[in-house]
Chain A
Amino acid sequence: QKEVEQDPGPLSVPEGAIVSLNCTYSNSAFQYFMWYRQYSRKGPELLMYTYSSGNKEDGRFTAQVDKSSKYISLFIRDSQPSDSATYLCAMSANNYGQNFVFGPGTRLSVLP
């Protein structure tokens, strides 16, 4: 079993839909959780950064962490074609970048 699992997609949704992206993990020591967006031919861009369990909201984006289920989610409300990208989750037991483990990413297409 991989340490971090993520459905690779592709996931296609119509413009305006609510998108749910998910990751599961096996290491119960993970406490730091991040979501990155990566456009084609670009580097990843940090979207959300959360510590421990709970929800965090930033504009149209909401990140949820359920440590008891080892499951994290990113919700995108009112999705736009500009949200079409690959979304990567990353997590770690501490805040050292060397210890962050990335999921393989989910490719999202938002159709106009």
Chain B
Amino acid sequence: ETGVTQSPTHLIKTRGQQVTLRCSSQSGHNTVSWYQQALGQGPQFIFQYYREEENGRGNFPPRFSGLQFPNYSSELNVNALELDDSALYLCASSLGAQDQETQYFGPGTRLLVL
């Protein structure tokens, strides 16, 4: 088991609602990345936070936003939920923005949008 934790584990929302997902990074890691993994697909990069600043963003609309806190934990917020947002949301922490060899994933939050 990695030291990356995520909450909640499962979530059911309806279209148009807003959701906040949380991630605690591995001790000593200052970089957190968020991914969306649809069923039967590989993870797709949403964005990365390095020392509390956004450090890169994938092809996701602005209704996907995030935060990183001084203790390097992080939140992913999704507004105006759509059915296609149903997926497993993974966070991963690493020692640095360019240190993918040390990137550890959490178990994910499974979001279902009805």
What is A's interface to B at a CB cutoff of 8 Å? Answer: 4, 6, 8, 32, 34, 41-46, 49, 88, 90, 92, 94-105
- 11 A-B residue contacts at CB 8 Å? A6-B42, A45-B105, A46-B103, A95-B99, A96-B100, A97-B33, A97-B92, A98-B56, A98-B57, A100-B100, A105-B42
Given contact pairs A97-B103, A104-B41, a sample of 18 additional A-B residue pairs in the complex whose CB atoms are under 8 Å apart = A4-B42, A8-B40, A41-B107, A43-B2, A43-B4, A43-B90, A43-B107, A44-B43, A45-B105, A88-B43, A95-B98, A95-B100, A97-B45, A97-B92, A98-B55, A100-B45, A102-B43, A103-B42
Asked if B8 lies at the interface with its beta carbon under 8 angstroms from chain A, I say no
Q: With A97-B33, A97-B48, A98-B48 as given contacts, are A46 and B101 in contact (CB-CB < 8 Å)?
A: yes
In the complex, which residues 95-114 of chain B have their Cβ closer than 8 Å to any Cβ of chain A?
97-101, 103-108
Q: Measured between alpha carbons, how far is A102 from B43 in the docked complex, in Å?
A: 6
A44 to B48, CA, bound (A): 17
- A residues within 8 A CB of B4? 43
Q: A43-B92, A49-B100 are in contact. Are A96 and B107 (CB under 8 A)?
A: no
Inter-chain contacts of B103 with A (CB < 8 A): 46, 97
Q: Tell me if B58 counts as interface (CB < 8 A to partner A).
A: yes
Using CB atoms and an 8 Å cutoff, list the residues of chain B in contact with chain A: 2, 4, 31, 33, 40-45, 47-48, 55-58, 90, 92, 94, 97-101, 103-108
Q: Considering the chains assembled together, what is the distance between the CA atoms of A45 and B101 in angstroms?
A: 11
Q: Is the CB of B97 within 8 A of A96?
A: yes
